[in-house]
Amino acid sequence: MKKYFFVFLIASLSACHKPSYTALDAPWEPDYKIDRSESAILAFEKKDAEQMPAPGGIVFTGSSSFTKWTDADKDLAPLPIINRGFGGSTLPEVIYYANRSVVRYKPKTVVIYCENDMFGAKKKTPEQVRDAYVALTKLIRDQLPDVRLYGVSLKPSPSRWARREDVIKANKLIQEFIKKDRKHGYIDVWPVMLKDGRPDGSIFVKDSLHMNAEGYRRWTKVFKPILEKTA
């Protein structure tokens, strides 16, 4: 009897930590060309042709907050960072290019940051953002079953502060999904980016969207200890 109870307990615990890939909202179709960042991907491939990164690294994928973190490999050294963020990208684009910008490196860890989805011309709900994030992680996990995933919270930007409730909701939905997966972590950058409950303007450049060196210094303090644990 004890043996069967033990088997049942293990099965129950496993089920509790199995992510649900069920969509929460209707499918969302891009109103832009999904391959509009082809030149950026070709640039990555040209760089790889000169020197292909070793397998087992940490791939950064997503939008311009990663693209502009040009010193990520130095800031997070000796962690083996492979930064493949491409500016202006959305989750559908990251999905479209995932095989060429993520999977091909056979990484041990993938870190995802993408914040543009809700700020285009066509309305997109927090639920649809979550669904796109879920679809991306499923694509990666299907091909790299043992990969460690991290989702980074959509950051609090002054230029997008009026839409903060949508951003907060998307972050919450993504975090709830992540909690169901033992090999999936959530990196919350909000605490180090706020001052008196609002985005700290001193860590942003003139566009009030992208970060300056101080912003990336704060991100380094958050990212490094988390990634070192699973390096």
pLDDT band at 12 (very low <50, low <70, confident <90, very high): very low
The answer on pLDDT for 41 being more than 90 is yes
pLDDT tens, position by position, 137-164 = 999 999 999 999 999 999 999 999 999 9
8 or 152, higher pLDDT: 152
pLDDT tens, position by position, 100-150 = 999 999 999 999 999 999 999 999 999 999 999 999 999 999 999 999 999
pLDDT band at 4 (very low <50, low <70, confident <90, very high): very low
CA distance linking residue 51 with residue 4, whole number of Å: 53
Over residues 208-223, the mean pLDDT reads 98
pLDDT band at 17 (very low <50, low <70, confident <90, very high): low
Phi, psi of 45 (to 5 degrees): -65, -35
Report DSSP letters for 153-213, one per residue. Answer: PPP--GGGGGGHHHHHHHHHHHHHHHTT-TTEEEE--HHHHEETTEE-GGGB-TTSSSB-H
**Contact present, 63 and 85 (Cβ < 8 Å):** yes
By the 10 Å C-beta count (0-12 exposed, 13-18 middle, 19+ buried), 202 is classed as exposed
10 or 220, higher pLDDT: 220
Rg (CA), the chain: 18
Q: Which two tokens stand for residue 173?
A: 């939905």
The answer on pLDDT for 10 being more than 50 is no
Percent of the chain with pLDDT over 70: 93
Domains within the chain, CATH numbers bracketed: 55-229 (3.40.50.1110)
pLDDT of amino acid 20: 83
pLDDT tens, position by position, 157-213 = 999 999 999 999 999 999 999 999 999 999 999 999 999 999 999 999 999 999 999
Partner residues linked to 185 by β-bridges: 150
pLDDT of amino acid 8: 41
Over residues 24-45, the mean pLDDT reads 97
pLDDT tens, position by position, 46-88 = 999 999 999 999 999 999 999 999 999 999 999 999 999 999 9
Per-residue DSSP letter, 115:
-
